[in-house]
Amino acid sequence: MKPIDYVPAINAYYQGLGYPEYDWTINSDAPFTPLTKPLGECRVSMLTSGGISHTSRPPFEPTAKNNLRVDAVDPCAAICDFDVNDAYYDTRDARVDINVVFPIERLRELAAEGVVGSVAERLWSGFMGRTYNRTAVIEEAAPALVRELGKDEVDLMIMVPA
Amino acid sequence: MGLVARVVEAAGIPTIYLSTGRDLTQQVLPPRAVFVNFPMGNPFGRADDATMQRTILLHTLEHAVNATEPGEMIDLPYDWGERILTIMELQEGWSASPPDPVTGKQPT
């Protein structure tokens, strides 16, 4: 099955609703920081943008725009203690089994087996919804996350958009 | 989230990105990406399919180790097995309900 062309589909959808064309970021190169340790020694964290919140926190607003909220997530949390609120993807399977978008159990297992060195003190959930204010992401919210990852001595960050 | 991956990487923390939107990811160009042709709500596979979830997570971590070229994306060989619907197509039949005014949560 051919991958879906999301860019024209999204453009057509929002233009149909009367929005101007989205000014997509198109990059031609990428930063690159090599891993400095074998995977089995890496402390690994994970970020989901799937509107996933622990039940001790308020839910994410499902139709969020320019929402810079980023929650720290306890990697030892029970998988039934999460809410999923995100209007931008089909969340039905995530509500049955959070691991389909945020494989917290699978990551714990790999750490227990020594495939990864350890799971970081905190995982992350945020940056959900539609982003128009890229400057705020690039200049404030993402650097703030970087500082926290530094405190947790994260060696590798898994990023899973939804 | 590709923007975030690039900021984190540029700050000195390696990242690995699991994508279900191939063309979207190719535009933003995160430092390392794995594409799986699954729905956006199922990057790691189906509910309660721990084997597939683990497999995809392993592939993701493997590419983190093996990637050498900035922006390198690999395609996983798995097929979803049925037609993937976008949220926009799903909204025709199933509407993304507004949040409950009291709890703030999206009803199931």
Which ipTM score applies to this complex? Answer: 0.95
Helix axes B2-10, A142-151, angle to 10 degrees: 50
DSSP B100: P
Q: Please tell me the total count of domains within chain A.
A: 1
Which amino acid type is present at position A61? E
Residue A99 domain-assigned (yes or no): yes
Tally Cβ neighbours within 10 Å of residue A7. 17
Residue A103 domain-assigned (yes or no): yes
Residues written for chain A:
162
Residue A43 domain-assigned (yes or no): yes
Establish if A68 touches chain B: CB-CB under 8 angstroms: no
What pLDDT shows up at residue B88? 85
Residue A62 domain-assigned (yes or no): yes
Containing domain of residue A139, as a range?
39-160
Which of A9, A83, A101 is nearest residue B43 as measured by Cβ atoms?
A101
Pairing between strand A43-48 and A123-126? parallel
What pLDDT shows up at residue B95? 43
Supply the pTM of this predicted model.
Answer: 0.92
Q: How confident is the model at residue B94 (pLDDT cuts 50, 70, 90)?
A: very low
Closest CA to B27 of B49, B52, B6, B13: B6
Look at residue B108 and tell me whether its pLDDT is greater than 60. no
Query: Taking CA B35 as the corner, what is the angle to CA B33 and CA B37, rounded to the nearest 5 degrees?
Result: 170
Closest CA to B87 of A48, A83, A6: A6
Residue A2 domain-assigned (yes or no): no
Which of B8, B53, B99 is nearest residue A85 as measured by Cβ atoms?
B99
Higher pLDDT, A21 or A112: A112
The pLDDT tens digits of the residues spanning A19-46 come to 888 888 899 999 999 999 999 999 999 9
